[in-house]
Structure 1
Amino acid sequence: MSVAAAGVPAWVDLGTSDLPGAIRFYGELFGWSAQPPDDPDAEGYTLFSKDDKLVAGAGSVSTGGQPPTWTTYIGTLDAQASAKLVESAGGTVLMPPFDVLDRGRAAVFTDPAGASFAVWQPLSMAGAELANVPGSLCWNELTTRDPEGAKEFYGTVFDWETRDTPFPPIMYTEWLVEQQPVAGMMPMVGDDWPADLPAHWMVYFAVNDCDATAEHAAALGGTVSVPPTDLPHGRFAVLNDPQGAFFSVIRIAGD
């Protein structure tokens, strides 16, 4: 399924308090090349590429007190219509639809549990050009304390269906478009989730070696929040970059 399809995560970008530092960190960690903007209206927004294909973006945090974070953008045919659906389903419009130069239209929301996400209506830029290979996005996952409410909300906004799989002690959910998994959902159950940790969307980048990537991230000034751990689908770790933005890496089983 194309990453630019409606209802499918199409793009991720980083809002950071230190754009030059983030460019250095992710360039070293994933082998990304940075493409500085050639348009002053882009306000420094930088595109990352891998093997000459777009994989992600990064820009400076624009509002005071906003923590550095990765944002998931889900493809849409109409950002304005998506905003109306978000509001009707009980979500909040943080940034109403706006033009991103000639590349597309975006909007930023929170779901009823407070998890922030965005939509991308493509124009000249469809979204990521590389996915599911080392050094690129391979999965997006909602982590929430209200999985049943999330099913209703995202089903309304994106027409997502769900498939639940027992993963003791929780039930893991896959979001489906045309019966194909496009993202996941992890309920925040148990003592592993700090009470002050809000609902959020996690981004996963594929790597060749989870342990080596975690070590490399720490050597570059990042931190390892969840050490390399085996899952049925691969070995993963949760990392924080030097500015505090969290993300996950995974070596997919069989790769």
Structure 2
Amino acid sequence: MTRCTTRLIIVSLFLLMWMGGCSTKVVVPPVTLDAAQLHLDGKFVWFDLFTTDMTAAQNFYDRVFDWNFERTNAGNAQVKTIFSSGRIIGTMIGRDGEPGDSQWLSYMSVTDTDHAYEAALRSGGTGHVPPKDLPNRGRIAVVLDPQKAPVALLNSPVGDPPDRKPRANLWFGAELWTTDVDGAVRFYTPLGGYQSEQVDVHDAVSYTVLYTNDQPRAGVVSIPWNDVDPQWVPYVAVEDIQATVTLIEDNGGRILIAPQMDVKSGRVALFADPTGAIVGIQELEPEED
């Protein structure tokens, strides 16, 4: 992901939010249909795909993860809601850009968007979209952390999706790629109310897990390549990682990191979709008898 891509995504989100308050209103869905008023600070509760080719992206995710896409507004074909097994999980937003410039934007739940936004700025972050209300979605802001990874801060009026047992083709959390693991942990710990723990995933990799109430919320790791900017990468749970890797390659995706037995027992991989957006996959643990 280039810094130009980051700017384009932020501009696209700003335009979406602006349209939500004008005569050509774009009505986006809430982050959950449960409406339980359950707020889980620090949880990544929503993911938006900003893509330069909506048709290619939709066909890819439909074939790989069996996701469904529905036009969010009858009069606007550039915004679609994403469903998995009938559950609402994200939005796809079309935008201009060079091939390969697509990216997912991750949303962190916060109790008070304005307070979190100001706290992020005081801690060395950069404000790019100040707090603004988006109908149904809630109060949103976007900041770049000190290493320039974009993250959205969200307080949802209906609450957050409840914690559930992981299921195939649904989100499995998010991972921050950064140039400064310790600095990133210091920045995000108060922002999300996290506790942190360094864990062993590979001899050459420093990996930190962020928790709230003993529930893992995200991972923090050094960027795996020199030519990639800091960013949050969403993960999808899968039943069979090797079969999913084959589906990804057969449908135009590119495997960036293949499953390796010395990394989480070969149960994780990373890929870029045909439009350039990066996603991780993690195989579910086998069911115990």
- Aligned partners of 1:107, 1:131: CA distance in 2, in Å? 29
1:88 paired residue among 115, 122, 141: 122
Cross-structure match for 1:182: 217
Tell me the CA shift for residue 30 of structure 1: 0.7
CA deviation after TM superposition for structure 1 residue 127, in Å: 5.1
User: What's the TM-score once normalised by structure 1's chain length?
Assistant: 0.87
Say if 1:69 and 1:246, in contact at 8 Å, map to a contact too. Answer: yes
Tell me how far 1:141 sits from its aligned partner: 0.9
Q: Which residue of 1 is the match for residue 167 of structure 2?
A: 133
Summarize the alignment of residues 1-255 of structure 1 with structure 2, pairs less than 5 Å apart.
4-38=39-73, 40=75, 44-61=78-95, 67-124=101-158, 126=160, 132-167=166-201, 168-188=203-223, 193-230=224-261, 231-232=263-264, 235-255=267-287
TM-score, normalised relative to structure 2: 0.78
* DSSP-derived class of the 2:78 partner: coil
**CA separation of 1:65 and 1:117: change in aligned 2, threshold 3 A:** farther
Displacement of 1:198 after TM fit? Answer: 1.4
Q: Please, which runs of 5 or more residues in structure 2 have no aligned partner?
A: 1-36
Q: CA deviation at 1:251?
A: 0.7
1:55-76 per-position Cα deviation (integer Å, ceiling 9, x unaligned): 2221123678992101111111
Q: Return the letter of the residue paired with 2:80.
A: T
Per-residue deviation at 1:131?
Answer: 7.1
Deviation of 1:179 after TM superposition, in Å, equals: 3.0
**For the residues of structure 2 that align with 1:63 and 1:109, how far apart are their CA atoms?**
21
- Whether contact under 8 Å (1:7, 1:158) holds in the other structure is yes
More divergent stretch after superposition (80-89 vs 31-40)? 31-40
Is the contact made by 1:11 and 1:128 (CA closer than 8 Å) also made in structure 2? no
The CA deviation at 1:187 is 2.4
Q: Secondary structure at the match of 1:36?
A: strand
8 Å Cα contact 2:259-2:266 kept in structure 1: no
In the TM superposition, residue 194 of structure 1 has moved relative to its aligned partner by: 2.8
Q: Secondary structure at the match of 2:104?
A: strand
Q: CA deviation at 1:205?
A: 0.4
Count of residues paired in the alignment: 249
- 1:246 is displaced (CA, Å) by 1.0
Aligned Cα RMSD in Å? 2.6
Alpha-carbon distance, 1:46 to partner: 1.3
1:209 deviates by 1.3
Are the aligned partners of 2:51 and 2:93 in contact in 1 as well (CA < 8 Å)? yes
CA distance in 2, matches of 1:127, 1:17: 28
Question: Percent same amino acid among aligned pairs?
Answer: 24
Displacement of 1:104: 1.4
Distance change >3 Å, CA 63–CA 121, structure 1 → 2: farther
1: distance between equivalents of 2:112 and 2:98?
A: 29
Higher strand share: 1
What displacement does 1:174 show?
0.9
Task: Decide whether aligned partners of structure 1 residues 179 and 125 sit closer, same or farther in structure 2, where only a CA change above 3 A counts.
Answer: closer
- The amino acid across from 1:211 in the alignment is Q
Deviations 1:117-160 (A, max 9, x none): 11221124745897721111012111212111112111232222
